[in-house]
């Protein structure tokens, strides 16, 4: 964990380094996830549970569908770009289209209790780890 | 049906060092569309994670600069385990040839996409040229 945000001046750099350090990491194990599929996903651990943060700028909440089953999460939808009739283009970099991505996580999760939040073009999925999968501390007698 | 095309990931590009600010950390170049109507020049930038209060647009010497800041404190307590992209503030500048009415610049934010409207001043509006 990027220890603390006690120095706000350095905090962003610390976060960026922490994200870089886990780029395409082995955490997904032998799962099928790979960089390059849309949308890009970052996975975080928060205590026992997990949080997936997905960048989806320009996607309307109503065009977003999320399904979860066992340890897979499916994110699909469409992104539309509409400009007025009279618009003459100077530069076009944004792309529109459909997407459908399935993510298998290498942990047991509780698919029924996943919470999704979408704000400012960012989708956050709060993924609770299955009770049986959580580490238990073992008392030494 | 260009709309059923499958979306591709667009790799984030970093801002050139020479235009970098003084705070540490990387700044990214937002993916941008620019289009023009008879009344205005419109700049549309994708800035996921930037809220409406964290955007600044300025026009100076015919250069429009748009900056968006993300609230990275939301990541506090989150330990990355697998990542596919990095995060950071956004910044981009464009040289514009039209005269802009600075007092009428407006911005609209929706789903991480900011639309900046730069209304043209009266004499910069197009005249139809007759072909004789």
Domains, chain A: 28-133 (2.60.40.790)
Q: What tens digit of pLDDT does each residue of B100-132 get?
A: 888 888 889 999 999 999 998 877 677 777 887
Cβ B82–A5 below 8 Å, yes or no? no
Query: Which CATH number applies to B25-121?
Result: 2.60.40.790
Q: Return the H-helix or E-strand segment holding A13.
A: helix A8-21
Q: What is the pLDDT of residue A1?
A: 46
Q: Enter the tokens of residue A86.
A: 């009279």
Ordered by start, the domain boundaries in chain B are: 25-121
Cβ A10–B112 below 8 Å, yes or no? no
End-to-end CA distance of chain B: 40
CA distance B52 to chain A (A): 9
Chain A nearest-CA residue for B32: A93
* Euclidean distance between CA atoms A46 and B87, whole angstroms: 18
**pLDDT band (50, 70, 90) for residue B24:** confident
Q: What is the pLDDT of residue B34?
A: 94
What is the average per-residue pLDDT within A113-124? 96
Residue owning tokens 């008392």 = A139
CB interface of A with B, residues 1-40, below 8 Å:
1, 5, 9-13, 15-16, 18-25, 27-28, 33, 35-40
Please provide the average confidence, as pLDDT, over all residues in chain A: 88
Q: What tens digit of pLDDT does each residue of B37-68 get?
A: 888 999 999 999 999 999 998 888 888 899 99
CA distance A138 to chain B (A): 24
* Higher per-residue pLDDT: A114 or B17: A114
Residue among B41, B44, B78 whose CB faces A94 most closely = B44
Q: What tens digit of pLDDT does each residue of A63-96 get?
A: 999 999 988 999 999 999 988 778 888 889 999 9
**pLDDT band (50, 70, 90) for residue B1:** very low
* pTM over cut 0.90: no
* Euclidean distance between CA atoms A72 and A59, whole angstroms: 22
Strand order of the sheet with strand A49-55?
Answer: A115-119, A122-127, A49-55, A41-46, B79-82
ipTM of this complex: 0.86
What is the average per-residue pLDDT within A125-129? 95
């Amino acid at each position: 964990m990027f220890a603390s945000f006690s120095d706000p001046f350095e905090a962003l750099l610390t976060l960026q380094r922490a994200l870089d350090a886990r780029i395409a990491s082995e955490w997904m194990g032998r799962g099928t996830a790979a960089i390059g599929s849309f949308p890009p996903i970052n996975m975080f651990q928060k205590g026992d549970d997990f949080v997936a943060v997905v960048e989806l700028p320009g996607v309307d909440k109503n065009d977003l569908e999320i399904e979860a089953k066992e340890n897979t999460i499916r994110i699909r939808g469409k992104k539309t770009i509409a400009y007025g009739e009279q618009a003459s283009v100077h530069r076009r970099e944004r792309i529109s289209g459909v997407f459908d991505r399935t993510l298998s996580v290498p942990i047991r999760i509780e698919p029924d209790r996943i919470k999704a939040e979408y704000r400012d073009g960012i989708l956050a999925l709060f993924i609770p780890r299955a009770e049986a999968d959580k580490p238990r501390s073992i008392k030494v007698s | 049906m260009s709309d059923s095309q499958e979306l591709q990931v667009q790799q984030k590009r970093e801002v050139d060092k020479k235009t970098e600010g003084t705070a540490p950390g990387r700044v990214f170049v937002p993916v941008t569309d620019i289009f023009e109507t008879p009344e205005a020049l419109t700049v549309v930038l994708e800035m996921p994670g930037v809220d409406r209060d964290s955007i600044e647009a300025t026009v100076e010497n015919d250069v429009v600069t748009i900056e968006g800041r993300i609230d990275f404190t939301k990541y506090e307590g989150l330990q990355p385990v697998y990542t596919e992209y990095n995060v950071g503030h956004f910044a981009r500048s464009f040289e514009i040839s039209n005269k802009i009415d600075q007092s009428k610049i407006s911005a609209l934010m929706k789903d991480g996409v900011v639309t900046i409207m730069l209304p043209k001043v009266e004499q910069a509006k197009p005249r139809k040229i007759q072909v004789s």
